[in-house]
A and B are shown apart, each in its own frame.
Chain A
Amino acid sequence: MKELQPYYLKYKNFILPTVFIMLSFFILFRVIMPQITSIASANQDIESKSTDVQTLQSSLSALSNADESAINDDLDTVVKALPVSKNITQIFEALSSAAGASSVDLKEYSLKVGGIYGRAEKVAQTSVKGVPSVDVEVKVGGASPRQIVDFTKQIQQRLPLSEVTQINSNGNNASLIISFFYKPLDLTLVSRQDNVTGVNQNDQTVINQLKDWDK
């Protein structure tokens, strides 16, 4: 120890400054800099959680203020307009009703129903991309061209929603290709969502139009 004593005496005034410098570096690199990163991520976290809370609050408010019978009524209408599966009975009802309203004779119709089980190879092509449809070939008779035009109008103003993709009329007979839309419902995807908005004015306008078309 004695041999270290001269060094101690010589450098003893630098011991504390060295300790201070080392502690300063420690605080800078082990406390301040990590905390700055942590503050940035905490701020982001707070921002996203605040948005979540706001969304959840508005969802809760929409749910607690919702009229259950109106919801059921609206749900019936939208599901009738866009069924979750290929609903042949509904399609037939719409065709019969449109034929009656336009005074045409519904002679025959054939549906390309497609798959019953398993993944579909190809979705039928309509002008509305991404929405599957069932193509129905309808033959009508005893009708003037004007009545056939009226029939196409009538069928497009009925539920389920459809699109007339081809009209081929000759004399009093006509053949039409009509695509009836449907869309499977992914309940797991729906239940994962938190953002529930009530039916707003624009939605209600569309629903009211659909109700008018529900003949």
Chain B
Amino acid sequence: MKEDINLVIKTNTDKKIKDKVFLGTLVVFLILFALGAIVLIYSITLTSKASALANNANDLRSKISSYSDQKTKLLTISERLVTIRKIINTRKKIDEEVSGIVSYVPDNLAIDSIYADDTKVTMGFTSPQLSDFDTLLESKIPLMTKDKSLNISRVAIGSFSQKSTGYLVLIDFIFRTAPVRK
């Protein structure tokens, strides 16, 4: 007896395969169709939501336009204040530097001259007595350099001269450059 005889008829096998192919493609189509429908509905919903928001924005813009005068004024105030803050925070404080130094000057010394710009302050001191400078040079200047509010990086004697009225000492005070705040 032959054992390898296929008892199933070939046409039946073919039919089963064809049915499977048909069902498979139908299922894929239906899944994609359903997915397409969902995506399309979702997209339409989003578009209508965006359109509603655009209408809402236009409504609000038209309401705001009735306050156009106040709007311009408030925006101008904000715009000015941004620059005003910038100026107040970053402008040079020469007056503070000079007045800081002046506050340390002993009463027996007269301030003869002041030159100040953004890098240094040069101050001329006069006195009829040479010993009057001792307090300034030996105790006051070391105190100034330790004063963090003054921010002095270097102190140098520019010149020393004798005049008919007394002695004149020019001292340069050089400051650390503060980082520019933005």
Contacts and interface: CB of A to CB of B under 8 A. Distances in A.
Interface centre among A14, A50, A78 (most CB of B within 10 A): A78
**Dominant SS among interface residues on chain B:** helix
B115 A32 contact: no
B66 to A, nearest CB: 9
- Interface residue tally on B, bucketed by range: 35 or more
Given A53-B53, A152-B95, A64 B84 contact: no
Given A45-B50, A128-B86, A165-B117, A81 B32 contact: no
B53 A56 contact: no
Interface stretch (B67-75, B130-138, B148-156): B67-75
Contacts of A112: none
A199 interface: yes
A169 B114 contact: yes
Q: Give the size category of A's interface with B.
A: 35 or more
Contacts of B68: 191
Contacts of A27: 29, 32-33, 35-36
A5 interface: no
A106 interface: no
A146 B140 CA distance: 18
A75 B47 CA distance: 42
Interface in A26-73: 27-28, 31-32, 35-36, 38-39, 42-43, 45-46, 49-50, 52-53, 56-57, 59-60, 62-64, 66, 68, 71-72
